[in-house]
Amino acid sequence: MVDTIRVLVAKPGLDGHDRGAKVVARALRDAGMEVIYTGLRQTPEQIVAAAVQEDVQVLCMSILSGAHNHLFPKVTELLKQKDASDILVLGGGVIPEDDIPFLKENGIKEVFTPGTSTEDIITFIKENV
Amino acid sequence: MDIDFQKLLDGVLNKDVRLTSRAITLVENENPESVSMLKKLFKHTGNAKIIGITGPPGSGKSTLTDKLAKAARHQGKTVGIVAVDPTSPFTGGAILGDRVRMQEISTDPGVFIRSMGTRGQLGGLAKATMSAVRVLDAYGCDYIFIETVGVGQSEVDIIKLADLVCIVLIPGMGDDIQSIKAGIMEIGDIFTINKCDREGVERLYTELNMMLDLRDSSEVRPPVLKTIAQTGEGVSEMLEEADKLFYNMKESGKLQKRRKRNLKIEVENILTSIFVKKVNKVAAETGLMDDYADKMSKKESDPFTVAEDILNKL
């Protein structure tokens, strides 16, 4: 049997819109993954603690407030400190094209912006874990 | 990550969070290294108080578990939480959402929270729940709370794992209380009425007490408590009550008896699991399952005969 893929879907920062995150969580569930959903307004510390305790292979973060350049790298930095850089980190939400190279330099493997089909995310995860 | 059981074992005993969480994953995936680890781990277990939290969906189990953990932390105790949510029978996927209610304790290094999907197991728990609890026990948690899936009537597997079981109920479920009397209402060591700021608390309180008074008087009568998990009201009292009960059970020998019974059940489960795997393997190897299905649908054979045929090939 293939081991179940475990994914953490988290919402860092202060925006209160988790519709997108929930749609992704649901799609990953339907693709046979175990999705740990932690809810709104998570600090990077909370996200990393959850990722490590839950031993996820994938961490999906969604952010709509514009704080991605600050919060995403903070999460990857903390993951490094916890010796957990092997976790595949994906970003999503309202993220300007121009910011994506910076995020990728900082350990975000891929960024999915509005209009992405959930199929693309599932395929990306399956090919990269 | 390539990993051997010795490294896992050392990681768990040295309170390494990353290796401990990896150990639980391997246990869940039924990795052979994890079995070797569990064997060695066993003698390091038995120190934690294992408390089951069960009740219908939406009764506040997660929030209550969060607040119980906090109360235990106030006493300087460490806490493990195993929170189980249902796995889809169709896709094998799951949404594990119990952490949503456990925000404040999530960064506390004295708390280890692990979410599990049932992965096809009925009964309100995941198959590897006991093993995950063992890992957290050896890791050094003073309390381990097992939060079951939201249960209906007959998901009572929690009694096979926990030292004591708390049933969480809420007012206003009316006849539901009546309907769950037969299964789940028999397994509670503590009854907690949560969301006590709602209407109908007194009625439920009376009903529960009346029901409990009808029980065999030689049994210890479970207390009925009231909480509002959202605000934390009544939660430290609930933990105190659990501690008291735990102490009494230890003194009276009931705890040891219960743990022995649970170990026997665990062996049975392991045997069943090994046996089923073997049989399924043999069944698959015959390559005859489609033929069998054809024959059965044409009434040339029947499920019992097929099962016996397969057994004879063992």
Q: Where are chain B's structural domains?
A: 1-44, 45-252, 264-312
User: How does B96-128 read in b/e, with b if 16+ C-beta sit within 10 Å?
Assistant: bbbbebbbebbebebbbbbbbbbbebebbbbbb
* Cα–Cα distance list, B186 to B246, B264, B292 (Å): 18, 21, 42
Q: How far apart are CA A113 and CA A123, in angstroms?
A: 16
Q: Which one, of A24, A21, A27, lies nearest residue A42 by Cα?
A: A21
Taking the alpha carbons at both ends of chain B, their separation in whole angstroms is: 36
pLDDT at A53: 96
Q: Do residue A25 and residue B87 have CB atoms under 8 angstroms apart? A: no
Residues on A contacting B at a C-beta cutoff of 8 Å:
3-4, 6, 25-26, 28-39, 42-43, 45-46, 49-50, 52-55, 82-84, 86
Residue whose token pair is 């089951």: B52
Token output for B99: 């952490």
Nearest chain A residue to B102, by CA: A38
Helix (H, G, I), strand (E, B) or coil at B55: coil
In chain B, residues with a C-beta closer than 8 Å to the C-beta of A42 are 103
Q: Which one, of B123, B170, B177, B163, lies nearest residue B256 by Cα?
A: B163
Q: How far apart are CA B172 and CA B182, in angstroms?
A: 19
Q: Which residues make beta-bridge pairs with B147?
A: B53, B83
Q: How far apart are CA A93 and CA A116, in angstroms?
A: 10
Q: Given its phi and psi angles, is residue B210 left (phi above 0), alpha (psi -120 to 50 degrees) or beta? A: alpha
How many C-beta atoms surround the C-beta of residue A88 within 10 A? 19
In order of start, what are the domains of chain A with their CATH numbers?
Answer: 6-128 (3.40.50.280)
Q: Do residue B99 and residue A39 have CB atoms under 8 angstroms apart? A: yes
Reported as half-sphere exposure (CB side, CA atoms, 13 A), residue B263 has a value of 10
Cα A83 → chain centroid:
18
CB distance from B103 to chain A under 8 Å? Answer: yes
pLDDT at B127: 86
Q: How far is A27 from chain B (nearest CA, A)?
A: 9
Cα B36 → chain centroid:
23
Nearest to A25 among B22, B87, B95 (CB): B95
Q: How far is A50 from chain B (nearest CA, A)?
A: 7
Q: How far apart are CA B253 and CA B242, in angstroms?
A: 16
In chain B, residues with a C-beta closer than 8 Å to the C-beta of A88 are none
Reported as half-sphere exposure (CB side, CA atoms, 13 A), residue B6 has a value of 0
Q: For testing the chain B interface, which of A29, A59, A74, A78 should be mutated: the one with the most B CBs within 10 Å?
A: A29
In chain A, residues with a C-beta closer than 8 Å to the C-beta of B107 are 43, 45-46, 49
Q: Structure pTM?
A: 0.91
Q: Do residue A50 and residue B88 have CB atoms under 8 angstroms apart? A: no
Q: For testing the chain A interface, which of B106, B108, B112, B277 should be mutated: the one with the most A CBs within 10 Å?
A: B106
Digit-coded pLDDT (tens) for A95-120? 999 999 999 999 999 999 998 999 99
pLDDT at A1: 47
Q: Do residue B99 and residue A82 have CB atoms under 8 angstroms apart? A: no
Contacts of B194 (CB under 8 A, 6+ apart): B55, B59, B60, B64, B168, B169, B170, B227, B228, B229
CB B190 within 8 A of CB B166: yes
**Which residues in chain B come in under a pLDDT of 70?**
1-2, 153-154, 174-182
Q: How far apart are CA A22 and CA A62, in angstroms?
A: 10
For domain B45-252, say whether CATH 3.40.50.300 is its number.
Answer: yes
In chain B, residues with a C-beta closer than 8 Å to the C-beta of A30 are 88, 91, 93
Q: How far apart are CA A107 and CA A30, in angstroms?
A: 27
The DSSP letter of residue B141 is: -
**Which residues in chain A come in under a pLDDT of 50?**
1
How many C-beta atoms surround the C-beta of residue B263 within 10 A? 13
Q: How far apart are CA A90 and CA A72, in angstroms?
A: 9
